[in-house]
Structure 1
Amino acid sequence: MFVVNAIGWFMSGVFLVNVLPHLIRGISGDRFPSPFSKPHGKKLSHPTLNVVWAFINLSIFLTIFYFNHFSFTEIYGLVMLIGGFTMAIYLSRYFAEKDKE
């Protein structure tokens, strides 16, 4: 059961960090890549679509968070932070190469 919980916490960190760039760019009115663009994640999506994608990610995070009892006294809190850090590094490298407007 540890592995399943650890994967859940890792993914919750991934989804939480993925909220930030889409929400920030969306509410700033800037176009930004999303899974809804063609090709996926390459072309720039409308700001409103990025806000929607941010809230989908937030909803997934909150669902995982709700069903797993969170505590930083357990290893799962660390696993969530590692997931978030991993996603942040990945996104910084991925979006450094994205199409610029």
Structure 2
Amino acid sequence: MNFLHYVAIFFAGAFLCNCIPHLASGLRGEAFPTPFAKPRGVGDSSPMLNFLWGSANLLVGAILYTRSALAPGINLECGLFLAGFLIMGLYLSRHFGAVRRGKNQ
């Protein structure tokens, strides 16, 4: 396996984690920050834009996941996938927690 294979697996986890809040917000009809909002990542985007952004993240994550031939089990690939998912999740929870606190003040 080459280095880019491992990078792709890591980012598959990150993209799949990132699709969750955007799809959930879009499907619930709620505004939520996206990279397209002003200010970027802080201002709210429409539910439709969140749904589309979440779908794009899902598509990219699914492509990276299926192209990487990830073998289930306790191995380096699964560890990298979970690391990408967890690191993105920790970052998003911290970032959006701060954004929400700032909006409630």
The TM-score normalised by the length of structure 2 is 0.88
Bigger helix share = 2
- For 1:81, the aligned partner's letter is L
Give the equivalent residue in structure 2 for 1:82: 83
- For 2:45, the aligned partner's letter is S
Task: Please state how far the C-alpha of 1:63 moved relative to its aligned partner.
Answer: 1.3
Give the equivalent residue in structure 2 for 1:32: 32
| Root mean square deviation of aligned Cα | 1.4
In the alignment of these two chains, the number of paired residues is 101
- Return 5+ residue gaps in structure 2 as ranges: none
- For 1:65, the aligned partner's letter is Y
Q: Is the 8 A contact 1:72 1:78 kept in 2?
A: no
Task: Please state how far the C-alpha of 1:72 moved relative to its aligned partner.
Answer: 2.0
Moved over 4 A (4+): none
Task: Please state how far the C-alpha of 1:86 moved relative to its aligned partner.
Answer: 0.4
Aligned identity (percent) is 34
Deviates more, 1:50-59 or 1:66-75: 66-75
2:7, 2:54 → 1: CA distance?
21
1:28, 1:67 → 2: CA distance?
31
1:46, 1:6 → 2: CA distance?
34
Q: Is the 8 A contact 1:6 1:79 kept in 2?
A: yes
Give the equivalent residue in structure 1 for 2:14: 14
2:31, 2:12 → 1: CA distance?
25
Q: 1:26-68: CA deviations, max 9, x gaps?
A: 1111110001112211100001100000000011011112221
- Return 5+ residue gaps in structure 1 as ranges: none
Q: 1:63-82: CA deviations, max 9, x gaps?
A: 11222111124411111011
